[in-house]
């Protein structure tokens, strides 16, 4: 009896049968972290750098290039607007990313978004605004797009082998590795890219200026760039603060920053400021939020209201002022404390031959010139090859002219079609290509008029071929072609600068004039141990000399000065807050005064420990620490050009601060330690440091469990024998108090 075979158990798709064994399953393999990073992370990092985030010499990232080339092949250079969703879908044949990412790329390249000086995409519908985070673009099914006229300069002669073509991601199509741009687009439109471990941020320049500079560099490699390329030119306009040294750094190294401020108008009838242009690096919402916060904090008391009035007519921020406010002074405050003045950091990181390189403007233009020379040579070589092929055909046709009847007879008398071409070759002594061309001529064209017209092109072709061969032999001729193309582009697409220039020296003069407007009158400044500040005029001080203080508080500093002084408040957190005497209201001795921590916005737990007063930041600050070290720092180290209100790292935090003093010149201090020793230190023996957070130098040697206890300025008469406590070298342990010095004078310590 035959046994019935048992059917194998049915296994669901994606599941393993029970009791299945997989070799190595459950085993943990030890790997060095360096190996894992090299094998797994490095390929990803290189892919992001090479294929996504860093632009190449034609000025485009791969996503930009794939999108624009797709639109070009769709006939959108001269065609009508079509739905953006259609474009995004077609681009997916070259770009493996989703349609949302492709559409975002197109939005940034569009005219409606206003992110570029020279948009490459004409748009219809809501494409959002680069200067607003709230105005978002509509979905791709609602908007339409086509290529802008300037995009013709990106694809000129692309079909003449000017650039290499490579396979797309699935090897079903060809796409250009670069675009044969006829102008330095890498500098004309700004480009931001964040890769892995590196980034690129290229600012935009005026098209006409870039073309003029490229022409000048072709003629003279030592050309002064700043004479033709004034400064960056941003799509959002604004005013660029011109400092030649900053621009030279960017032009030479490819790194640096420029400061740009907003443009405003004062509406006298409505007593408001209308801001119509803002720095490219910020948004309307960021500005409104920052101004609102400052108004709530009481730091901009001249402002009643701020509104975002951006509409179809363009950007507009309206700031309502209180009656009697000076609009220029209010704007200067806004420039100093809000994104209405902001910096644009430049990092000209570009892929050159597959290698990321940070290049200055001169290097970038030189690289683009060599790239364009190669494109022109390849174009001329392509045209030369086609011209020679055509001339070769016409030479064969020229021989047919000798006896047209013979050609007709050969064709008629040939029995097989395959023998027509060989018979023509034998009959007229021409090659196969020429014979094939003759054989394909229509019967209606076998007349003397047609043939003579074709032969008239021979002379012109020979002249063109000679011209093209001469161009290929002469780099000067190639460069002259590039110069002509650059001039044509500048003339056709050039536009006036959007970003105007203001000189830093002019701003400094305005600042000085503003400072002169601050009332100048004598006053006495008082600072207490609890952090209270009073500014009292001499008249008020004479009327009431008795101070009101919090219980347990005491006045630690009294300085007779004037209302124009700058104040530096040092805190226990090693931070300094900068202010001005004019920022504080005049008060009376009978009031507590202003609590500095609240006035200047200290961090929680911070308290003021010292107040420095200056106008020109001359002199020194001397810090004494518990470990017996002293640091002498130039007061100029705390001066800032940008009017920063807060500086961290004001002094070292390696050891607790015992005392600090502001001195105009070197002087002596009397130090006391917990071991009962005293030492007179002359600050001339302490080296000057420019680093604010320096630990200083050891001036008093201390035994374990002892520390520096107090420091006061030394004056003659404080001790009976000052020489006992002085020393020629530092550090020194000091001396114990002599019998005659143990008395009431020591209570000063």
CA angle 85, 90, 93 (to 5 degrees): 140
Helix (H, G, I), strand (E, B) or coil at 294: helix
Nearest to 635 by CA among 652, 622, 625: 622
Q: Which residues have C-beta within 8 Å of that of residue 194, sequence separation ≥ 6?
A: 53
Query: Which secondary-structure segment (H or E) carries 43?
Result: helix 42-48
CA angle 197, 131, 232 (to 5 degrees): 65
CA dihedral sign of residues 442, 446, 452, 453? negative
The answer to whether the beta carbons of residues 600 and 544 sit under 8 Å apart is no
Nearest to 611 by CA among 658, 674, 662, 657: 662
The DSSP-derived string for 169-206 is: TTSSSEEESS---SS-HHHHS-EEEE-SS-EEEE--B-
Query: Which secondary-structure segment (H or E) carries 680?
Result: strand 677-682
Question: Residue 280 catalytic?
Answer: no
Alpha carbon of 469 to those of 160, 370, 387, 462, 483: distances in Å?
17, 19, 11, 11, 19
C-alpha 190/C-alpha 435 separation (Å) is 55
Tell me whether residue 434 is exposed, middle or buried, using C-beta atoms within 10 angstroms of its C-beta: 0 to 12, 13 to 18, 19 or more: buried
Q: Which residues have C-beta within 8 Å of that of residue 640, sequence separation ≥ 6?
A: 578, 647
C-alpha 382/C-alpha 361 separation (Å) is 31
The answer to whether the beta carbons of residues 37 and 348 sit under 8 Å apart is no
The answer to whether the beta carbons of residues 276 and 263 sit under 8 Å apart is yes
C-alpha 113/C-alpha 204 separation (Å) is 16
Q: What is the DSSP pairing of strand 688-689 with strand 629-634?
A: parallel
Paired strand residues for 594: 533
C-alpha 646/C-alpha 299 separation (Å) is 15
CB neighbour burial string for 596-611, b if at least 16 within 10 angstroms, e if fewer: bbebbebeeebebbbb
DSSP 560: E
CA dihedral sign of residues 380, 381, 385, 391? positive
C-alpha 148/C-alpha 131 separation (Å) is 21
Query: Which secondary-structure segment (H or E) carries 426?
Result: helix 420-428
**Largest Cα span, the chain:** 143
Helix (H, G, I), strand (E, B) or coil at 245: helix
Q: Helical H runs in 74-122?
A: 84-91, 99-109
Alpha carbon of 744 to those of 487, 718, 740: distances in Å?
89, 10, 10
Which one from 142, 169, 503, 521 is the annotated catalytic residue? 142
The answer to whether the beta carbons of residues 731 and 698 sit under 8 Å apart is yes
Give me Rg for the CA atoms of the chain: 40
Alpha carbon of 373 to those of 87, 180, 474, 547: distances in Å?
32, 10, 11, 81
Residues with catalytic annotation? 142
């Amino acid at each position: 009896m035959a046994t019935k075979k048992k059917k194998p158990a049915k296994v669901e798709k994606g599941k393993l049968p029970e009791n299945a064994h997989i070799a190595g399953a459950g085993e943990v393999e030890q790997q060095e972290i360096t190996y894992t990073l090299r094998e797994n992370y490095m390929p990803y990092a290189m892919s992001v750098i090479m294929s996504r985030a860093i632009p190449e010499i034609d000025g485009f990232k791969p996503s930009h290039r794939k999108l624009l080339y797709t639109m070009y092949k769709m006939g959108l250079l001269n065609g009508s607007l079509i739905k953006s969703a259609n474009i995004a879908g077609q681009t997916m044949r070259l770009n493996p990313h989703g349609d949302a990412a492709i559409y975002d790329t197109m939005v940034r390249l569009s005219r409606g978004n206003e992110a570029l000086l020279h948009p490459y995409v004409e748009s219809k519908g809501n494409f959002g605004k680069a200067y607003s985070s709230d105005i978002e673009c509509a979905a791709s099914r609602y908007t339409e797009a086509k290529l802008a006229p300037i995009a013709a300069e990106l694809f000129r002669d692309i079909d003449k082998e000017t650039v290499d073509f490579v396979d797309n991601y699935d090897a079903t199509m060809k796409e250009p590795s670069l675009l044969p741009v006829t102008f330095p687009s890498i500098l004309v439109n700004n480009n931001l890219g964040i890769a892995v471990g590196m980034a690129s941020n290229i600012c935009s320049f005026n098209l006409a200026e870039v073309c003029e500079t490229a022409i000048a560099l072709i003629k003279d490699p030592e050309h002064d760039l700043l004479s033709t390329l004034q400064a960056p030119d941003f799509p959002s306009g604004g005013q660029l603060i011109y400092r030649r040294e900053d621009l030279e750094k960017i032009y030479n190294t490819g790194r640096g920053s420029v400061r740009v401020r907003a443009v405003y108008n004062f509406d006298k009838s409505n007593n408001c400021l209308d801001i119509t242009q803002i720095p490219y690096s910020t948004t309307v919402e960021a500005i409104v939020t920052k101004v609102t916060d400052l108004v709530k904090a009481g730091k901009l008391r001249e402002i009643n209201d701020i509104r975002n009035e951006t509409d179809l007519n363009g950007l507009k921020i309206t700031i309502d002022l209180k009656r009697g406010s000076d609009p220029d002074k209010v704007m200067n405050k806004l420039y100093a404390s809000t994104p209405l003045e902001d910096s644009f950091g430049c990092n000209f990181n570009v892929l050159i031959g597959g290698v990321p390189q940070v290049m200055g403007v001169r290097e970038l233009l030189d690289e683009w010139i060599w790239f364009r020379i190669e494109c022109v040579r390849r174009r001329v070589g392509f045209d030369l090859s086609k011209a020679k092929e055509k001339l070769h055909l016409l030479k064969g046709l020229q021989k047919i002219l000798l006896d047209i009847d013979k050609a007709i007879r050969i064709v008629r008398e040939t029995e097989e079609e395959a023998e027509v071409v060989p018979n023509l070759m034998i009959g007229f002594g021409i090659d196969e290509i020429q014979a094939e061309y003759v054989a394909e001529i229509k019967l209606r064209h076998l007349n003397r008029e047609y043939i003579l017209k074709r032969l008239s092109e021979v002379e012109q072709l020979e002249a063109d071929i000679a011209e093209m061969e001469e161009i290929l032999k002469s780099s000067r001729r190639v460069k002259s072609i590039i110069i002509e193309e650059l001039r044509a582009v500048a003339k056709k697409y050039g536009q006036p600068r959007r970003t105007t220039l203001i000189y830093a020296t002019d701003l400094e003069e305005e600042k000085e004039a503003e400072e002169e407007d601050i009332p100048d009158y004598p006053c006495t400044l008082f600072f207490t141990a609890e952090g209270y500040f009073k500014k009292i005029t001499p008249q008020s001080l004479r009327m009431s000399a008795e101070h009101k203080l919090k219980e347990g508080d005491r006045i630690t500093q009294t300085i007779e000065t004037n209302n124009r002084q700058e104040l530096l408040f040092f805190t226990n957190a090693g931070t300094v807050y900068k202010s001005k005497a004019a920022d504080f209201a005049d008060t009376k001795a009978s009031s507590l005064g202003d609590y500095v921590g609240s006035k200047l916005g200290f961090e929680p737990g911070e308290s003021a420990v010292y107040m420095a007063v200056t106008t020109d930041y001359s002199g020194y600050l001397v810090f004494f620490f518990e470990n017996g070290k002293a640091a002498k720092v130039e007061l100029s180290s705390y001066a800032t050009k940008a009017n920063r209100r807060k500086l961290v790292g004001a002094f070292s935090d390696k050891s607790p601060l015992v005392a600090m003093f502001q001195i105009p010149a070197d002087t002596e201090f009397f130090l006391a330690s917990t071991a009962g020793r005293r030492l007179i230190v002359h600050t001339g023996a302490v080296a000057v440091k420019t680093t604010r957070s320096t630990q200083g130098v050891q001036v008093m040697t201390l035994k374990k469990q002892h520390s520096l206890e107090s420091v006061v300025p030394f004056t003659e008469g404080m001790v009976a024998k000052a020489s006992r406590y002085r020393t020629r070298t530092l550090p020194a342990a000091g001396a114990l108090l002599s019998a005659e010095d143990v008395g009431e004078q020591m209570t000063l310590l």
